[in-house]
Chains A and B, each alone.
Chain A
Amino acid sequence: MSETISRVARVATLILEISGAALLVAMMLMTFADVIGRYFFNSPIDGAFELTELMLATLLYCGLPLISMRDGHVTVDLLEGGLSSRTKRVRDAIVNLLMAGALAFLTVKLWGKADLSSYDTTAILEIPLAPLMRFMAISCGVSAILTLMLLHFPHKPVNREVVAGQ
Protein backbone atom coordinates (compact mmCIF):
# COMPACT_ATOMS: atom_id res chain seq x y z
CA MET A 1 0.00 0.00 0.00
CA SER A 2 2.57 2.53 1.12
CA GLU A 3 4.81 1.40 -1.72
CA THR A 4 2.12 2.24 -4.27
CA ILE A 5 1.57 5.61 -2.64
CA SER A 6 5.24 6.48 -2.73
CA ARG A 7 5.46 5.39 -6.38
CA VAL A 8 2.47 7.54 -7.31
CA ALA A 9 4.00 10.44 -5.40
CA ARG A 10 7.31 10.01 -7.24
CA VAL A 11 5.70 10.00 -10.66
CA ALA A 12 3.48 12.97 -9.79
CA THR A 13 6.50 14.89 -8.53
CA LEU A 14 8.42 14.20 -11.69
CA ILE A 15 5.51 15.34 -13.86
CA LEU A 16 5.20 18.58 -11.88
CA GLU A 17 8.94 19.18 -11.98
CA ILE A 18 9.16 18.58 -15.71
CA SER A 19 6.14 20.75 -16.53
CA GLY A 20 7.41 23.53 -14.27
CA ALA A 21 10.90 23.35 -15.76
CA ALA A 22 9.51 23.40 -19.31
CA LEU A 23 7.34 26.42 -18.49
CA LEU A 24 10.25 28.29 -16.98
CA VAL A 25 12.44 27.67 -20.01
CA ALA A 26 9.56 28.62 -22.31
CA MET A 27 9.00 31.83 -20.36
CA MET A 28 12.68 32.73 -20.58
CA LEU A 29 12.97 31.97 -24.30
CA MET A 30 9.70 33.70 -25.15
CA THR A 31 10.75 36.90 -23.40
CA PHE A 32 14.09 36.73 -25.18
CA ALA A 33 12.48 36.06 -28.57
CA ASP A 34 9.97 38.86 -28.01
CA VAL A 35 12.75 41.38 -27.34
CA ILE A 36 14.85 40.19 -30.28
CA GLY A 37 11.80 40.17 -32.56
CA ARG A 38 10.81 43.67 -31.57
CA TYR A 39 14.22 45.31 -31.91
CA PHE A 40 15.74 43.45 -34.80
CA PHE A 41 12.83 42.31 -36.93
CA ASN A 42 10.22 44.79 -35.83
CA SER A 43 7.80 41.98 -35.08
CA PRO A 44 7.13 41.35 -31.39
CA ILE A 45 5.22 38.23 -30.37
CA ASP A 46 1.50 38.99 -30.16
CA GLY A 47 0.22 38.70 -26.63
CA ALA A 48 3.62 37.77 -25.13
CA PHE A 49 2.57 39.87 -22.16
CA GLU A 50 -0.50 37.71 -21.55
CA LEU A 51 1.32 34.46 -22.12
CA THR A 52 3.96 35.47 -19.58
CA GLU A 53 1.25 36.09 -16.99
CA LEU A 54 -0.46 32.77 -17.62
CA MET A 55 2.85 30.90 -17.57
CA LEU A 56 3.85 32.53 -14.30
CA ALA A 57 0.60 31.50 -12.65
CA THR A 58 0.89 27.92 -13.93
CA LEU A 59 4.51 27.76 -12.82
CA LEU A 60 3.62 28.80 -9.28
CA TYR A 61 0.93 26.21 -8.93
CA CYS A 62 3.27 23.53 -10.29
CA GLY A 63 5.60 24.54 -7.47
CA LEU A 64 3.01 24.57 -4.69
CA PRO A 65 2.63 20.77 -4.40
CA LEU A 66 6.43 20.45 -4.58
CA ILE A 67 7.05 22.76 -1.65
CA SER A 68 4.09 21.33 0.29
CA MET A 69 5.49 17.86 -0.04
CA ARG A 70 8.97 18.92 1.04
CA ASP A 71 7.84 21.07 3.93
CA GLY A 72 9.30 24.00 2.03
CA HIS A 73 7.17 26.91 3.21
CA VAL A 74 9.06 29.81 4.76
CA THR A 75 9.02 29.68 8.56
CA VAL A 76 10.69 31.49 11.44
CA ASP A 77 12.78 29.04 13.45
CA LEU A 78 13.61 31.37 16.30
CA LEU A 79 12.24 29.37 19.22
CA GLU A 80 13.30 25.92 18.10
CA GLY A 81 16.07 25.29 20.59
CA GLY A 82 14.01 24.92 23.75
CA LEU A 83 11.46 22.39 22.52
CA SER A 84 11.60 18.65 23.09
CA SER A 85 11.35 16.49 20.00
CA ARG A 86 7.96 15.25 21.16
CA THR A 87 6.56 18.76 21.49
CA LYS A 88 7.93 19.50 18.04
CA ARG A 89 6.20 16.46 16.57
CA VAL A 90 2.86 17.44 18.05
CA ARG A 91 3.33 21.04 16.94
CA ASP A 92 4.27 19.96 13.39
CA ALA A 93 1.19 17.75 13.21
CA ILE A 94 -1.05 20.66 14.22
CA VAL A 95 0.64 22.99 11.73
CA ASN A 96 0.25 20.44 8.95
CA LEU A 97 -3.44 19.94 9.71
CA LEU A 98 -3.97 23.68 9.68
CA MET A 99 -2.09 24.02 6.41
CA ALA A 100 -4.04 21.18 4.81
CA GLY A 101 -7.30 22.78 5.97
CA ALA A 102 -6.32 26.15 4.51
CA LEU A 103 -5.33 24.55 1.21
CA ALA A 104 -8.58 22.61 1.03
CA PHE A 105 -10.49 25.83 1.68
CA LEU A 106 -8.56 27.57 -1.09
CA THR A 107 -9.37 24.65 -3.42
CA VAL A 108 -13.10 25.21 -2.89
CA LYS A 109 -12.81 28.99 -3.27
CA LEU A 110 -10.72 28.83 -6.46
CA TRP A 111 -13.06 26.25 -7.98
CA GLY A 112 -15.98 28.55 -7.15
CA LYS A 113 -14.14 31.46 -8.76
CA ALA A 114 -13.70 29.38 -11.92
CA ASP A 115 -17.45 28.66 -11.98
CA LEU A 116 -18.11 32.40 -11.92
CA SER A 117 -15.58 33.13 -14.66
CA SER A 118 -16.69 30.78 -17.45
CA TYR A 119 -16.80 33.62 -19.99
CA ASP A 120 -13.65 35.49 -18.94
CA THR A 121 -10.75 35.49 -21.37
CA THR A 122 -7.48 37.38 -21.77
CA ALA A 123 -7.79 40.64 -23.72
CA ILE A 124 -5.69 39.99 -26.84
CA LEU A 125 -5.41 36.26 -27.39
CA GLU A 126 -8.84 35.55 -25.86
CA ILE A 127 -7.56 32.58 -23.90
CA PRO A 128 -10.24 31.41 -21.44
CA LEU A 129 -9.23 31.89 -17.81
CA ALA A 130 -11.46 29.36 -16.06
CA PRO A 131 -9.21 26.37 -16.87
CA LEU A 132 -6.27 28.15 -15.22
CA MET A 133 -8.36 28.70 -12.10
CA ARG A 134 -9.39 25.07 -12.10
CA PHE A 135 -5.75 24.05 -12.40
CA MET A 136 -4.92 26.28 -9.42
CA ALA A 137 -7.75 24.68 -7.44
CA ILE A 138 -6.55 21.18 -8.28
CA SER A 139 -3.00 22.10 -7.35
CA CYS A 140 -4.20 23.37 -3.96
CA GLY A 141 -6.21 20.17 -3.47
CA VAL A 142 -3.22 17.97 -4.30
CA SER A 143 -1.07 20.06 -1.98
CA ALA A 144 -3.59 19.61 0.82
CA ILE A 145 -3.39 15.84 0.40
CA LEU A 146 0.42 15.91 0.27
CA THR A 147 0.52 18.03 3.42
CA LEU A 148 -1.63 15.45 5.19
CA MET A 149 0.75 12.75 3.98
CA LEU A 150 3.59 14.59 5.72
CA LEU A 151 1.90 13.48 8.96
CA HIS A 152 2.70 9.89 8.09
CA PHE A 153 5.67 9.83 5.77
CA PRO A 154 9.09 11.21 6.46
CA HIS A 155 10.07 14.04 4.15
CA LYS A 156 13.26 15.60 3.00
CA PRO A 157 13.21 19.34 3.52
CA VAL A 158 14.15 21.48 0.53
CA ASN A 159 17.47 23.19 0.40
CA ARG A 160 17.10 26.20 2.66
CA GLU A 161 20.17 27.89 1.29
CA VAL A 162 18.04 29.57 -1.33
CA VAL A 163 15.08 30.40 0.89
CA ALA A 164 12.84 32.93 -0.73
CA GLY A 165 15.43 34.45 -3.00
CA GLN A 166 16.62 36.98 -0.47
Chain B
Amino acid sequence: MRAAEQVQVPPADFQSYYGKPILKVTRWKEPHLPGYLFLGELSGALAVVGAVAHATGRRSLARTARLAATAGAYAGGATLALELGRPERALHMLRVAKPTSPMSMGSWILSVHSALVSTAAASEVTGRLTGLGNAAGVASAVTGPLLAAYPAVLLADTAVPAWHAAHRELPLLFVGGAMTAAGAAGLAASAVSHDRSDFGAAYRLAMIGAAVESLGGYGLETMPGLVGEPYRSGSGGQLLTAARYLTVSGGVAALAARGSRVAAVAAAALLTGGGLCAKFAVLRAGKASAADPKYVVASQRPTASSHDGG
Protein backbone atom coordinates (compact mmCIF):
# COMPACT_ATOMS: atom_id res chain seq x y z
CA MET B 1 0.00 0.00 0.00
CA ARG B 2 1.47 3.25 -1.02
CA ALA B 3 0.61 6.00 1.41
CA ALA B 4 0.67 8.83 -1.10
CA GLU B 5 0.19 12.24 0.37
CA GLN B 6 -2.47 14.38 -1.22
CA VAL B 7 -1.16 17.86 -0.75
CA GLN B 8 -2.74 21.17 -1.34
CA VAL B 9 -0.65 24.21 -0.77
CA PRO B 10 -2.91 27.06 0.29
CA PRO B 11 -3.02 29.54 -2.60
CA ALA B 12 -1.12 32.79 -2.33
CA ASP B 13 -1.11 35.94 -4.42
CA PHE B 14 2.57 35.94 -4.68
CA GLN B 15 5.26 33.67 -3.38
CA SER B 16 8.95 34.18 -2.99
CA TYR B 17 11.94 32.55 -1.39
CA TYR B 18 12.05 34.44 1.94
CA GLY B 19 11.57 37.68 0.01
CA LYS B 20 15.07 37.35 -1.41
CA PRO B 21 15.84 38.76 -4.85
CA ILE B 22 15.52 36.45 -7.82
CA LEU B 23 18.03 38.53 -9.76
CA LYS B 24 21.37 39.87 -8.74
CA VAL B 25 21.14 43.59 -8.09
CA THR B 26 23.33 45.46 -10.51
CA ARG B 27 26.95 45.97 -9.55
CA TRP B 28 27.03 49.31 -11.38
CA LYS B 29 27.76 52.15 -9.04
CA GLU B 30 27.01 55.72 -8.23
CA PRO B 31 28.24 58.12 -9.42
CA HIS B 32 29.95 56.09 -12.14
CA LEU B 33 26.98 54.92 -14.12
CA PRO B 34 24.89 58.11 -14.01
CA GLY B 35 28.12 60.05 -14.48
CA TYR B 36 29.01 58.12 -17.59
CA LEU B 37 25.52 58.46 -18.98
CA PHE B 38 25.78 62.20 -18.58
CA LEU B 39 29.27 62.52 -20.01
CA GLY B 40 28.54 60.23 -22.93
CA GLU B 41 25.32 62.01 -23.79
CA LEU B 42 26.96 65.36 -23.57
CA SER B 43 29.85 64.30 -25.77
CA GLY B 44 27.45 62.79 -28.26
CA ALA B 45 25.30 65.86 -28.54
CA LEU B 46 28.25 68.21 -28.64
CA ALA B 47 29.76 66.26 -31.49
CA VAL B 48 26.62 66.96 -33.52
CA VAL B 49 26.65 70.57 -32.38
CA GLY B 50 30.25 70.81 -33.44
CA ALA B 51 29.49 69.42 -36.88
CA VAL B 52 26.49 71.67 -37.42
CA ALA B 53 28.37 74.67 -36.06
CA HIS B 54 31.25 73.97 -38.39
CA ALA B 55 28.92 73.56 -41.33
CA THR B 56 27.14 76.85 -40.56
CA GLY B 57 30.33 78.82 -40.06
CA ARG B 58 30.19 79.07 -36.33
CA ARG B 59 33.93 78.33 -36.04
CA SER B 60 34.45 79.26 -32.46
CA LEU B 61 31.45 77.27 -31.33
CA ALA B 62 32.59 74.32 -33.37
CA ARG B 63 35.97 74.34 -31.70
CA THR B 64 34.54 74.66 -28.22
CA ALA B 65 31.98 72.00 -28.85
CA ARG B 66 34.51 69.57 -30.24
CA LEU B 67 36.95 70.13 -27.41
CA ALA B 68 34.21 69.67 -24.87
CA ALA B 69 33.01 66.58 -26.70
CA THR B 70 36.51 65.19 -26.56
CA ALA B 71 36.82 65.89 -22.87
CA GLY B 72 33.44 64.33 -22.27
CA ALA B 73 34.27 61.23 -24.26
CA TYR B 74 37.54 60.61 -22.49
CA ALA B 75 36.17 61.45 -19.08
CA GLY B 76 33.32 59.08 -19.81
CA GLY B 77 35.72 56.38 -20.85
CA ALA B 78 37.73 56.83 -17.68
CA THR B 79 34.54 56.63 -15.63
CA LEU B 80 33.64 53.40 -17.34
CA ALA B 81 37.07 51.98 -16.71
CA LEU B 82 36.79 52.81 -13.03
CA GLU B 83 33.51 50.89 -12.88
CA LEU B 84 35.27 47.75 -13.98
CA GLY B 85 36.28 45.12 -11.46
CA ARG B 86 39.60 45.01 -13.27
CA PRO B 87 40.22 48.51 -14.66
CA GLU B 88 43.64 47.49 -15.95
CA ARG B 89 41.83 45.21 -18.38
CA ALA B 90 39.66 47.98 -19.83
CA LEU B 91 41.02 47.36 -23.32
CA HIS B 92 39.63 43.83 -23.21
CA MET B 93 36.44 45.54 -24.34
CA LEU B 94 38.00 45.68 -27.79
CA ARG B 95 38.97 42.02 -27.98
CA VAL B 96 35.79 41.28 -29.85
CA ALA B 97 33.01 43.12 -31.62
CA LYS B 98 29.84 41.39 -30.58
CA PRO B 99 26.52 42.52 -32.02
CA THR B 100 24.55 40.75 -29.30
CA SER B 101 26.26 42.84 -26.66
CA PRO B 102 25.22 46.47 -26.43
CA MET B 103 28.25 47.02 -24.25
CA SER B 104 30.52 45.65 -26.93
CA MET B 105 28.86 47.83 -29.52
CA GLY B 106 28.93 50.73 -27.13
CA SER B 107 32.62 50.24 -26.39
CA TRP B 108 33.35 50.40 -30.08
CA ILE B 109 31.07 53.38 -30.55
CA LEU B 110 32.78 55.20 -27.70
CA SER B 111 36.23 54.27 -28.98
CA VAL B 112 35.51 55.34 -32.53
CA HIS B 113 33.68 58.44 -31.37
CA SER B 114 36.55 59.41 -29.07
CA ALA B 115 39.03 58.99 -31.89
CA LEU B 116 36.88 60.97 -34.30
CA VAL B 117 36.01 63.79 -31.99
CA SER B 118 39.53 64.20 -30.70
CA THR B 119 40.83 64.21 -34.26
CA ALA B 120 38.33 66.92 -35.11
CA ALA B 121 39.20 68.87 -31.98
CA ALA B 122 42.93 68.55 -32.54
CA SER B 123 42.48 69.81 -36.04
CA GLU B 124 40.48 72.75 -34.75
CA VAL B 125 43.11 73.65 -32.20
CA THR B 126 46.19 73.18 -34.32
CA GLY B 127 44.66 74.29 -37.56
CA ARG B 128 46.32 71.36 -39.29
CA LEU B 129 44.86 68.51 -41.34
CA THR B 130 41.59 70.36 -41.55
CA GLY B 131 40.23 68.07 -44.21
CA LEU B 132 40.75 65.03 -42.07
CA GLY B 133 39.55 66.90 -39.03
CA ASN B 134 36.36 67.99 -40.68
CA ALA B 135 35.65 64.55 -42.04
CA ALA B 136 36.24 63.17 -38.58
CA GLY B 137 33.97 65.81 -37.17
CA VAL B 138 31.18 64.92 -39.56
CA ALA B 139 31.61 61.26 -38.77
CA SER B 140 31.45 62.05 -35.08
CA ALA B 141 28.05 63.55 -35.68
CA VAL B 142 26.96 60.01 -36.57
CA THR B 143 28.68 58.30 -33.67
CA GLY B 144 27.55 61.03 -31.31
CA PRO B 145 23.83 60.28 -31.38
CA LEU B 146 24.60 56.56 -31.19
CA LEU B 147 26.76 57.24 -28.17
CA ALA B 148 23.91 59.08 -26.54
CA ALA B 149 21.31 56.46 -27.35
CA TYR B 150 23.06 53.10 -27.02
CA PRO B 151 23.16 53.11 -23.18
CA ALA B 152 19.39 52.77 -23.30
CA VAL B 153 19.85 49.51 -25.17
CA LEU B 154 22.51 48.46 -22.70
CA LEU B 155 20.22 48.95 -19.73
CA ALA B 156 17.18 47.48 -21.45
CA ASP B 157 19.10 44.42 -22.54
CA THR B 158 19.21 43.06 -19.01
CA ALA B 159 16.91 40.97 -16.88
CA VAL B 160 16.00 43.97 -14.75
CA PRO B 161 12.24 44.29 -15.28
CA ALA B 162 12.09 48.06 -14.91
CA TRP B 163 14.86 48.51 -17.48
CA HIS B 164 13.81 45.81 -19.90
CA ALA B 165 10.30 47.18 -20.03
CA ALA B 166 11.58 50.70 -20.67
CA HIS B 167 13.35 50.11 -23.96
CA ARG B 168 11.17 52.79 -25.61
CA GLU B 169 11.33 55.39 -22.87
CA LEU B 170 15.00 55.18 -21.99
CA PRO B 171 16.33 56.19 -25.45
CA LEU B 172 14.07 59.22 -25.41
CA LEU B 173 15.19 60.09 -21.90
CA PHE B 174 18.84 59.81 -22.87
CA VAL B 175 18.79 61.65 -26.19
CA GLY B 176 16.58 64.25 -24.59
CA GLY B 177 19.09 64.51 -21.83
CA ALA B 178 21.88 64.80 -24.35
CA MET B 179 20.25 67.74 -26.04
CA THR B 180 19.37 69.34 -22.74
CA ALA B 181 22.91 69.00 -21.47
CA ALA B 182 24.39 70.44 -24.62
CA GLY B 183 21.83 73.23 -24.61
CA ALA B 184 22.40 73.97 -20.96
CA ALA B 185 26.12 74.12 -21.54
CA GLY B 186 25.43 76.56 -24.28
CA LEU B 187 23.22 78.69 -22.05
CA ALA B 188 25.87 78.81 -19.37
CA ALA B 189 28.54 79.66 -21.90
CA SER B 190 26.43 82.43 -23.35
CA ALA B 191 25.82 83.82 -19.88
CA VAL B 192 29.51 84.23 -19.18
CA SER B 193 30.77 85.21 -22.60
CA HIS B 194 30.39 88.41 -24.49
CA ASP B 195 29.36 86.70 -27.65
CA ARG B 196 25.67 85.88 -27.38
CA SER B 197 25.27 84.97 -31.00
CA ASP B 198 24.70 81.30 -30.25
CA PHE B 199 22.29 81.95 -27.45
CA GLY B 200 19.27 81.19 -29.58
CA ALA B 201 20.56 77.79 -30.71
CA ALA B 202 21.48 76.86 -27.18
CA TYR B 203 18.09 78.00 -25.94
CA ARG B 204 16.21 76.06 -28.59
CA LEU B 205 18.37 72.97 -28.09
CA ALA B 206 17.79 73.10 -24.36
CA MET B 207 14.04 73.46 -24.76
CA ILE B 208 13.77 70.70 -27.35
CA GLY B 209 15.91 68.51 -25.15
CA ALA B 210 13.88 69.29 -22.06
CA ALA B 211 10.70 68.41 -23.88
CA VAL B 212 12.04 65.12 -25.18
CA GLU B 213 13.57 64.31 -21.83
CA SER B 214 10.33 65.08 -20.08
CA LEU B 215 8.48 62.89 -22.52
CA GLY B 216 10.82 60.06 -21.73
CA GLY B 217 10.48 60.66 -18.01
CA TYR B 218 6.73 60.82 -18.30
CA GLY B 219 6.75 57.53 -20.10
CA LEU B 220 8.73 55.94 -17.28
CA GLU B 221 6.55 57.36 -14.56
CA THR B 222 3.35 56.20 -16.19
CA MET B 223 4.59 52.77 -17.19
CA PRO B 224 1.65 50.45 -16.55
CA GLY B 225 1.68 47.57 -14.18
CA LEU B 226 3.76 46.66 -11.21
CA VAL B 227 6.88 46.73 -13.31
CA GLY B 228 6.69 50.54 -13.43
CA GLU B 229 6.41 50.92 -9.67
CA PRO B 230 10.14 51.59 -9.08
CA TYR B 231 9.79 54.75 -11.19
CA ARG B 232 6.93 55.97 -9.05
CA SER B 233 8.00 54.98 -5.59
CA GLY B 234 11.04 54.71 -3.43
CA SER B 235 14.31 56.32 -4.25
CA GLY B 236 13.84 55.98 -8.01
CA GLY B 237 10.43 57.59 -7.88
CA GLN B 238 11.61 60.46 -5.73
CA LEU B 239 14.55 61.23 -7.95
CA LEU B 240 12.45 61.06 -11.09
CA THR B 241 9.99 63.47 -9.54
CA ALA B 242 12.84 65.75 -8.58
CA ALA B 243 14.15 65.49 -12.12
CA ARG B 244 10.78 66.55 -13.45
CA TYR B 245 10.64 69.59 -11.22
CA LEU B 246 14.19 70.57 -11.98
CA THR B 247 13.73 70.22 -15.71
CA VAL B 248 10.48 72.16 -15.75
CA SER B 249 11.96 74.86 -13.55
CA GLY B 250 14.96 74.97 -15.81
CA GLY B 251 12.70 75.41 -18.77
CA VAL B 252 10.87 78.25 -17.10
CA ALA B 253 14.14 79.89 -16.11
CA ALA B 254 15.33 79.53 -19.68
CA LEU B 255 12.41 81.63 -20.83
CA ALA B 256 13.99 84.55 -19.02
CA ALA B 257 17.50 83.62 -19.97
CA ARG B 258 17.74 85.84 -23.02
CA GLY B 259 17.48 88.92 -20.87
CA SER B 260 19.10 87.74 -17.69
CA ARG B 261 22.47 86.11 -17.29
CA VAL B 262 21.41 84.95 -13.88
CA ALA B 263 18.39 83.24 -15.33
CA ALA B 264 20.57 81.68 -17.98
CA VAL B 265 22.95 80.25 -15.42
CA ALA B 266 20.06 79.14 -13.26
CA ALA B 267 18.40 77.47 -16.21
CA ALA B 268 21.63 75.70 -17.10
CA ALA B 269 22.06 74.47 -13.53
CA LEU B 270 18.46 73.39 -13.16
CA LEU B 271 18.36 71.62 -16.48
CA THR B 272 21.65 69.84 -15.85
CA GLY B 273 20.53 68.92 -12.36
CA GLY B 274 17.32 67.52 -13.74
CA GLY B 275 19.20 65.41 -16.21
CA LEU B 276 21.51 64.04 -13.56
CA CYS B 277 18.64 63.27 -11.24
CA ALA B 278 16.92 61.36 -13.99
CA LYS B 279 19.97 59.20 -14.52
CA PHE B 280 20.39 58.50 -10.84
CA ALA B 281 16.69 57.71 -10.77
CA VAL B 282 17.06 55.15 -13.51
CA LEU B 283 19.86 53.41 -11.64
CA ARG B 284 17.99 53.43 -8.37
CA ALA B 285 14.83 52.17 -10.02
CA GLY B 286 16.81 49.36 -11.61
CA LYS B 287 18.26 48.33 -8.28
CA ALA B 288 14.85 48.33 -6.66
CA SER B 289 13.40 46.40 -9.57
CA ALA B 290 16.02 43.67 -9.20
CA ALA B 291 15.95 43.60 -5.42
CA ASP B 292 12.29 42.76 -4.93
CA PRO B 293 11.31 39.43 -6.45
CA LYS B 294 7.72 40.54 -6.99
CA TYR B 295 8.74 42.56 -10.02
CA VAL B 296 10.23 39.56 -11.77
CA VAL B 297 7.25 37.40 -10.93
CA ALA B 298 4.79 40.10 -11.97
CA SER B 299 6.51 40.66 -15.29
CA GLN B 300 6.34 36.94 -16.05
CA ARG B 301 2.98 36.09 -14.54
CA PRO B 302 0.77 39.03 -15.50
CA THR B 303 -2.31 37.48 -13.90
CA ALA B 304 -0.70 37.09 -10.49
CA SER B 305 -0.17 40.75 -9.72
CA SER B 306 -1.87 43.06 -12.13
CA HIS B 307 -2.66 45.63 -9.45
CA ASP B 308 -0.35 48.53 -9.14
CA GLY B 309 1.30 48.55 -5.75
CA GLY B 310 2.51 52.11 -6.20
Query: Does chain A bind chain B?
Result: no
